[in-house]
């Protein structure tokens, strides 16, 4: 019997060097898209998929991420005194229930695979999700909820995938594709950051995964791969054939918020969906377009 998907691992130990100087004293995961930090979007997406327990893989200078989900007694008291009931209610939705969040330090930056291995005690014998906050997905159904629905149908391992331009395959884990059924794709193989000339397809993994706990054993045995890091893709490739493995062509638009242009695009897209400011933002964009600025 397949265990329920209730755990999520969120790696947040990166230095965010592409966003310096903004990230000199602020974790990149705390950078806001409109009015919420990236990490909050990830946690909200996970909760919408039924996730109840979270493990943040952190590093030095990342305490602000955990504080964000704590109870802010002083702030709540001030809002209450000032009659800010809407803000107070919003604040209450951010805090996670007691005991639902754990942290693990990744002392040495050895890659995503190593970060997930650091969470081995938290994962235990349960299936778990992975969310990379840099990947922000805008859609009617949250991306991880789509994977969770597929997991209940197929079991095994699943990754969210999207087609990328052929010249960009060297930036992603790429699928060797088998049979396709609707939005589900059978995974025959995985290659980390292949040169376009040898890439088996253009179907790329984005930062959403549902994996079985057996991946931890493979990570422990995986030597450093592309970039001199322990690659999660290499460990996942070893699991193919032992249990079902599928890619899910998710519905929605993905924004690479680890890239400045992608981060700016996300700001615009989410602002145009925001009930409070969408009309003003649309008018601003129209004025800039008309002025040719």
- Helices marked H in 25-140: 38-48, 63-68, 73-81, 85-94, 112-118, 120-123
Whether pLDDT at 41 is above 70: yes
Whether pLDDT at 293 is above 70: no
Contact yes or no for 90/71 (Cβ under 8 A): no
> In which region does residue 274 sit, left (phi positive, over 0), alpha (psi from -120 to 50) or beta (all else)?
beta
Question: Per-residue pLDDT averaged across 163-184, rounded?
Answer: 90
**What's the CA gap between 253 and 270, in Å, rounded?**
11
Question: Per-residue pLDDT averaged across 180-205, rounded?
Answer: 90
Contact yes or no for 160/130 (Cβ under 8 A): no
- Helices marked H in the chain: 38-48, 63-68, 73-81, 85-94, 112-118, 120-123, 143-154, 215-221, 232-237, 260-271, 278-291
pLDDT band at 105 (very low <50, low <70, confident <90, very high): very high
Contact yes or no for 224/230 (Cβ under 8 A): yes
pLDDT, residue 289, reads 82
Mapped onto helix, strand or coil, the DSSP state of residue 95 is: coil
DSSP state of 240: B
pLDDT, residue 42, reads 97
**What's the CA gap between 254 and 107, in Å, rounded?**
30
**What's the CA gap between 140 and 42, in Å, rounded?**
15
The burial class, CB within 10 Å (0-12 / 13-18 / 19+), for 172 is buried
Q: What is the mean pLDDT of the chain?
A: 91
pLDDT band at 60 (very low <50, low <70, confident <90, very high): confident
Domains (range + CATH), the chain: 7-258 (3.90.550.10), 260-293 (no CATH)
pLDDT, residue 45, reads 97
Residues in the chain: 293
Contact yes or no for 255/165 (Cβ under 8 A): no
**What's the CA gap between 129 and 144, in Å, rounded?**
8
**What's the CA gap between 100 and 96, in Å, rounded?**
7
Closest CA to 151 of 75, 247, 76: 247
Q: Which percentage of the chain shows pLDDT scores above 90?
A: 67
Question: Per-residue pLDDT averaged across 69-93, rounded?
Answer: 90
**What's the CA gap between 133 and 108, in Å, rounded?**
20
Encode pLDDT of 6-34 as tens digits. 999 999 988 888 998 998 889 999 999 99
Closest CA to 184 of 194, 172, 175: 175
Whether pLDDT at 1 is above 60: no
pTM: 0.92
**What's the CA gap between 67 and 21, in Å, rounded?**
22
Q: Which percentage of the chain shows pLDDT scores above 70?
A: 96
Question: Per-residue pLDDT averaged across 180-202, rounded?
Answer: 90
pLDDT, residue 233, reads 87
pLDDT, residue 182, reads 87
Encode pLDDT of 241-253 as tens digits. 888 999 999 999 9
Whether pLDDT at 2 is above 80: no
- Helices marked H in 143-221: 143-154, 215-221
pLDDT, residue 29, reads 94
| Cβ density class 194-208: b for 16+ within 10 Å, e for less | beeeebebbbbbbbb
Mapped onto helix, strand or coil, the DSSP state of residue 220 is: helix
Task: Of 105-114, 136-145, 200-209, give the lowest mean pLDDT range.
Answer: 105-114
Encode pLDDT of 213-243 as tens digits. 999 999 987 666 555 678 898 889 889 988 8
Question: Per-residue pLDDT averaged across 106-123, rounded?
Answer: 90
**What's the CA gap between 64 and 57, in Å, rounded?**
13
């Amino acid at each position: 019997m397949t265990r329920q998907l209730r755990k999520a691992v969120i790696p947040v130990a990166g230095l965010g060097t592409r966003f310096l100087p903004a990230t000199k004293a602020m974790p990149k995961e705390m950078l806001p898209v409109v009015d919420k930090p990236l990490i909050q979007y990830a946690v909200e997406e996970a909760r919408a998929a039924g996730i109840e327990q979270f493990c943040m893989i952190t590093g030095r200078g990342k305490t602000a991420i955990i504080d964000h989900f704590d109870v802010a007694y002083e702030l709540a008291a001030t809002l209450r005194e000032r009659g800010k009931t809407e803000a107070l209610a919003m604040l209450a939705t951010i805090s996670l229930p007691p005991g639902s969040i754990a942290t693990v330090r990744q002392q040495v930056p050895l890659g995503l695979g190593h970060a997930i291995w650091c969470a081995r005690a938290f994962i235990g014998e349960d299936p778990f999700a992975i969310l990379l906050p840099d990947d922000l997905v805008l859609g009617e159904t949250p991306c991880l909820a789509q994977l969770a629905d597929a997991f209940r149908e197929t079991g095994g391992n699943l990754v969210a995938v999207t087609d990328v331009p052929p010249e960009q395959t060297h930036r992603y884990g790429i699928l060797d594709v088998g049979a396709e059924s609707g939005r589900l794709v059978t995974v025959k193989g995985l290659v980390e950051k292949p040169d376009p000339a040898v890439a088996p397809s253009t179907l790329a993994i984005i930062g959403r995964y549902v994996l079985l706990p057996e991946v931890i054993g493979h990570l422990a045995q995986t030597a450093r791969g592309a970039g001199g890091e322990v690659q999660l893709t290499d460990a996942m490739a070893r699991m193919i054939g032992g249990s079902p493995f599928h890619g899910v062509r998710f519905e929605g638009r993905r924004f690479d918020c680890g890239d400045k242009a992608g981060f700016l695009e996300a700001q615009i897209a989410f602002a145009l969906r925001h009930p409070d400011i969408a009309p003003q933002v649309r008018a601003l964009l129209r004025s800039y377009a008309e002025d040719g600025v």
